[in-house]
Amino acid sequence: MEQTKKRIFSGIQPSGDLSLGNYIGAIKNWVNLQDDYECLYCIVDMHAITVRQTPADLRRRTLEVLMQYMAAGIDPEKSCLFIQSHASTHAELSWVLSCNTQMGELSRMTQFKEKSRKHEDNINAGLFTYPILMAADILAYQADLVPVGHDQLQHVELARDIANRFNHFYGDTLTVPEAYIPKVGKRIMSLQTPEMKMSKSDPNPNGFVRLLDDPDTIMRKFKRAVTDSDNTIKAAPEKPGVTNLLSIYSAVTNKTIEESEREFEGCGYGDFKMAVGEAVVSALKPLQAEFDRLSKDKAYVESVYKKGAEIANYLSNKTLRKVYKKVGFVAK
């Protein structure tokens, strides 16, 4: 996997069932990037343990996320698919980078503040330093681009700052990455609280759609989706619920917001929500069928993540050796 195209790295935590927000905001776009970029897509299981996990559930979800990546169209022949903990280079590089990161930078991370409020009984050091591990994830592969949502921009900026600082002190070593934000469906919001991002860890199960939800469950969630008192179907800042449903519909049907608005002109909210639900059911049907097929072929799934680990270790070890040499470690 020698680099001829620009390289992309991204990953998702296996801390819950993947949602429609994960699919539209990330995975659907990852599929479209495979032909034009050299892509590495990771299941970041090491990040997941900043919050207490049940070990058996973490193992199961890690493999389920991998299969959902593949079922969504990420091709192991085109992209490197691997599990984060299978490449020890991430943790090793993270230590060197932590010695080039300032405490003040970490204390300003919005997600640390948010997760600290949610998990007051377990504000661990990993929760504070995991943005450095995220930087190591990216920088280990000399990634040019990192597909992220707006909520992760701060972490990519930190990775850039760390890379620039390291290069300043030790010479040109690490590629300074750039964030890649898709134009459509970049931020899917909760169906119940449309001012908040759709999250797979939402305590309200009606706020998000799981990729593996059955059609009846999906339709029920969309019927209950929040809209507003004005009965016009137009995207506007003062209409977050309707805007969110239009974004979802546009993303799964590959239409623009304007095309979707024209399609539903004069339509009532009840019919509109049904149409969005049906479009989501239709979009997820082939993904769910392929997931079922993959879940019955454990040997193939294992071969994918083992091959991915080989590629990931080969690429990241090249960076780690270079970094170790620059900081003055004696070669093995």
SS (H, E, C) 261-292: HHHCCCCCHHHHHHHHHHHHHHHHHHHHHHHH
- Whole-angstrom distance, CA of residue 238 vs CA of residue 332: 61
| Candidate from 81-85, 186-190, 237-241, 269-273 with smallest mean pLDDT | 186-190
Return the number of other C-beta atoms located less than 10 Å from residue 242's C-beta: 26
Compute the half-sphere exposure of residue 266: CA atoms within 13 Å on the CB side of its CA: 1
Residue 323 has pLDDT above 80, yes or no: yes
For the entire predicted model, the pTM comes to: 0.90
Q: Is 332 a catalytic residue?
A: no
The overall longest dimension of the chain from CA atoms, in Å, is 72
For the chain, the domains span 7-181+298-327, 205-292
Encoded tokens for 92:
């090793």
- Band (pLDDT 50/70/90 cuts) for residue 183 is low
Q: Is 197 a catalytic residue?
A: yes
pLDDT of residue 229: 78
**What percent of the chain has a predicted confidence (pLDDT) above 90?**
75
Residue 176 has pLDDT above 70, yes or no: yes
CB 38 within 8 A of CB 7: yes
- Band (pLDDT 50/70/90 cuts) for residue 3 is low
Q: Is 285 a catalytic residue?
A: no
- Whole-angstrom distance, CA of residue 320 vs CA of residue 332: 12
Identified catalytic residue from 5, 6, 200, 296: 200
Own/partner pairs, 27-34, CB within 8 angstroms, 24+ separation: 27/68, 27/69, 27/72, 27/74, 28/72, 28/185, 28/251, 29/147, 29/182, 29/185, 30/69, 30/74, 30/79, 30/147, 31/72, 31/73, 31/74, 33/8, 33/147, 34/74, 34/75, 34/78, 34/79
Residue 11 has pLDDT above 70, yes or no: yes
Q: For all residues of the chain together, what is the average pLDDT?
A: 92
Q: Please compute the mean of the pLDDT values over residues 132-143 and round it to a whole number.
A: 98
Residue 26 has pLDDT above 90, yes or no: no
| Candidate from 196-210, 250-264, 300-314 with smallest mean pLDDT | 196-210
Residue 149 has pLDDT above 90, yes or no: no
- Band (pLDDT 50/70/90 cuts) for residue 186 is low
Q: Please compute the mean of the pLDDT values over residues 169-184 and round it to a whole number.
A: 89
Nearest to 138, CA basis, from 206, 185, 87: 87
- Band (pLDDT 50/70/90 cuts) for residue 233 is very high
Identified catalytic residue from 115, 221, 239, 273: 115
Residue 185 has pLDDT above 70, yes or no: no
The strands making up 38-43's β-sheet, listed across from edge to edge, are: 79-83, 38-43, 7-12, 145-147, 178-180
pLDDT of residue 309: 98
pLDDT of residue 184: 54
- Band (pLDDT 50/70/90 cuts) for residue 69 is very high
pLDDT of residue 286: 97
Question: Which residue is it, tokens 């546009």?
Answer: 250
Q: Which residue has the higher pLDDT, 202 or 77?
A: 77
Topology of domain 7-181+298-327 in CATH is Rossmann fold (3.40.50)
Identified catalytic residue from 113, 186, 197, 223: 197
Residue 118 has pLDDT above 80, yes or no: no
Domain 205-292 bears CATH identifier 1.10.240.10: yes
Q: What are the residues facing 82 on neighbouring strands?
A: 42
